[in-house]
Amino acid sequence: MVRHPYLKIFGLFILLGLSLTGCESEDPSADFILQKSLEAHGGRERWKKIKCIRYRKTTTFYDPTGVIEKKNVQQITHQWRPKKTEMIWENEGKPYRALKDPTGISLYKEGILQKDSLLLAQANTNLKAALYVYWQPFNLLENKAQRNYLGIQKILDSISVHAVQIRYSEEKNADVWTYFFDTQNYRLCAAQVLHYKRISLIVNEAVESETGLFLNHKRKSYFLDTLGKIKYLRAAYSYEIDSFTTD
């Protein structure tokens, strides 16, 4: 039986086509999306050069009718080499200062060191949260996190995004975070958190242009209903950089 050479060539084209189809349909990994986002936010080397950054965070809370409940202003410092986070604010006219460094947690009220374990635990949570929120997407690549790529989705019914889910615990009531990255430039544009059966969507409306890292500048947080639609604006955040230093 004679086998024609063109049959072999035709067969190779079929195999190549199947191979290419398989490659095209393969989803990127969560780490791939995060690495691309890190590059879009200045690159790893630029992030590592930051020694210290100080900024003022203003948070405005709203009730379901849109009326302002309260406004908080915090002066926050993140420092590396050595690592330190400091937060200064006022509550009911009294000054507070919280500090987290390699030696532990310190909390001062009107200049007096506080020793209440519950207050110290809350201060620790607030200081960790401040760094976590501000230092994105760099800190989303932590090894302890479980990351899953959820595919391309739409937020606010119009914005096409890559969705990456991040879990830090397998406990039943642990928070579940989903981060959304622009499909065109991979910039971080929003985050969603499931917290005790309540879902919040935090949208990045503007970024700063001073550091080259495109850090948060203006954000808004919305409570969502069971269908994923906006119920109401819960909070607005403003971040104003006072100073930063680099290596």
57-91 tens-digit pLDDT: 999 999 999 999 999 999 999 999 899 999 999 99
* Tens-digit pLDDT profile for residues 117-159: 999 999 999 999 999 999 999 999 877 889 999 999 999 888 8
Work out the pLDDT band at 9, boundaries 50, 70, 90: very low
Q: Are 49 and 246 in contact (CB under 8 A)?
A: yes
How much is the pTM? 0.85
DSSP 67: -
- Contacts of residue 165, Cβ cutoff 8 Å, sequence gap at least 6: 30, 147, 148, 149, 150, 176, 177, 178, 179
Q: Is the pLDDT of residue 5 over 60?
A: no
Q: What SS3 string covers 111-142?
A: CEECCCHHHHHHHHHHHHHHHHHHCCCHHHHC
Q: Specify the pLDDT at position 15.
A: 43
Give the residue, 71 or 14, on which the prediction is more confident: 71
Average pLDDT, the chain: 89
> Which single residue is written with the structure tokens 């995060």?
34
* Tens-digit pLDDT profile for residues 27-51: 789 999 999 999 999 999 999 999 9
Q: Is the pLDDT of residue 185 over 80?
A: yes
Q: Specify the pLDDT at position 14.
A: 38
Per DSSP bridges, beta strands 146-155 and 159-167 are antiparallel
Q: Is the pLDDT of residue 13 over 50?
A: no
Between CA 41 and CA 215 the distance in angstroms is 8
Q: Is the pLDDT of residue 11 over 60?
A: no
Q: Specify the pLDDT at position 171.
A: 85
Buried b (16+ CB within 10 A) or exposed e, 22-41: eeeeeeeebeebbbbbbebb
Between CA 135 and CA 78 the distance in angstroms is 9
**Side chain identity at residue 136, one-letter code:** Q
Q: Specify the pLDDT at position 50.
A: 96
Q: Specify the pLDDT at position 226.
A: 87
Q: Are 213 and 53 in contact (CB under 8 A)?
A: no
